[in-house]
Amino acid sequence: MKKVEPIISFEQYKAKNEEPIRKEVTKAITESFEEVQAISKNVTKLWYKITTIIAIVIAIIFVALGFYFLTKSTTQTSTILFVIGVVSFLTSAIMFFNRARIMKKIQKIYVSHMDREFIFKSAISNLPEFELVNFSDTRSDKLDSYRYNVPSDATIVSSSDLFEGVFKKKYKLEFQMARYHWTRGSGKDRRSYYRESGFIVIDTPKEDEGHTFAMKMHNFLSSLKKIELENDKFNSLTKFRSNDPIKSRMMFTPLAMEEIVKIQKNRLKTPWNLQKNADKAIFTFAAVSQQFIINAQKAKTDAQTIQRFMDDVSTDFYYLYEVLSVLLIPPYF
């Protein structure tokens, strides 16, 4: 008999990732040492950061003084002060962008030494009953259709790998995120917008094909009725709609709704939608920057850098689990 399955906590998931992924990340950081040292030179030093800040402070002070003397009709003095301020500002900008460029390059060096397949497989297999089947740099057509709060005319700037997996060895799973760009207005009023969005598509039980439902979606199949279940907080959080009240109540039992409310209120901070039709459940969500991409910046020490990569991987893939929890917790699969 199917039963409610409370999901594992983030702390439990991080602990499962600890041994296999930390070992791989540590190896990559160690192997990268000489290569990183050769390109980092001074930009990671404390004096470089302090000098950049001082240049910004000098720029602000001298530009402010320039405006002050300009009001006193001392044009020559104000001009000199403005020049010093602008030079200081340009110096700080060059130093800042040079550091950002090199730090990005260091990040790529670290990742190039990592076995990404091993890290991804470990991260996904450490989620209960999940398994990674394949990942590739293919851009799924679903990114054009399944978007969260992104207009249809937005173009894709970049995307994560496309991940394919299985749940309980039978339900296919596919997910990916992308960064979108679009513009509005023209001339001086032209504005550019960027937003990250992702999708998750998972097969659902064949016996539930006739059950159509949605969460947090106001415009999906307007014929769906709003179902008032026994938990008011669940109703408020999910805006649940369905074509079958009886199946809905069998699926979202009081205990299941209680567990879902806990994780929705305590962990999930970014918005998402769910639509289930026929044998597929489709989630769209507002992704965070670089989600599902191994991405962390060099820290002061190797130990801190390793921890940043660990946290990045665990946070990204636990989020996948959190979003899916609305279907994993009930007696459904």
**Contact in structure between 252 and 304 (CB atoms under 8 Å):** no
pTM: 0.85
Average pLDDT value for the chain: 89
Coil, strand, or helix at residue 205?
coil
Over residues 227-271, the pLDDT tens digits come to 889 999 999 888 899 999 999 999 999 999 999 998 877 666 778
Amino acid 219: pLDDT: 54
| End-to-end alpha carbon distance in the chain | 11
Q: What letters, b where the CB count within 10 A reaches 16 and e where it falls short, cover 218-244?
A: eebeeebeebebebeebbebbebbbbb
Instruction: Give me the mean pLDDT over the 129-151 stretch.
Output: 96
Q: How far apart are CA 43 and CA 98, in angstroms?
A: 8
**161: phi then psi, degrees, rounded to nearest 5:** -65, 160
Between 304 and 69, name the one with better pLDDT.
Answer: 304
At position 184, the amino acid (one-letter code) is R
Name the token pair of 62.
């001298």
Q: What tens digit of pLDDT does each residue of 279-309 get?
A: 999 999 999 889 999 999 889 899 999 999 9
Q: Over 70: is that where the pLDDT of 2 sits?
A: no
What pLDDT sits at residue 1? 46
> For the segment 215-229, what is each residue's pLDDT rounded down to a tens digit?
987 555 557 888 889
Instruction: Assess whether pLDDT exceeds 70 at residue 74.
Output: no
pLDDT for 182: 97
Q: What is the pLDDT of residues 110-123, one digit of tens each?
A: 999 999 999 999 99
The rounded percent of the chain whose pLDDT value lies above 70 is 95
Closest CA to 145 of 191, 192, 180: 180
- Which tens digits make up the pLDDT trace of 9-59? 899 999 999 989 999 999 999 999 999 988 877 667 777 778 888 888 888
Q: Which residues pair with 277 in a beta bridge?
A: 280
Tokens (6 digits) for 313? 């991987």
Q: What is the spatial distance between Cα 81 and Cα 99, in angstroms, rounded to a whole number?
A: 27
Report the percent of the chain where pLDDT is more than 90.
62
How far apart are alpha carbons 195 and 193 in whole angstroms?
Answer: 7
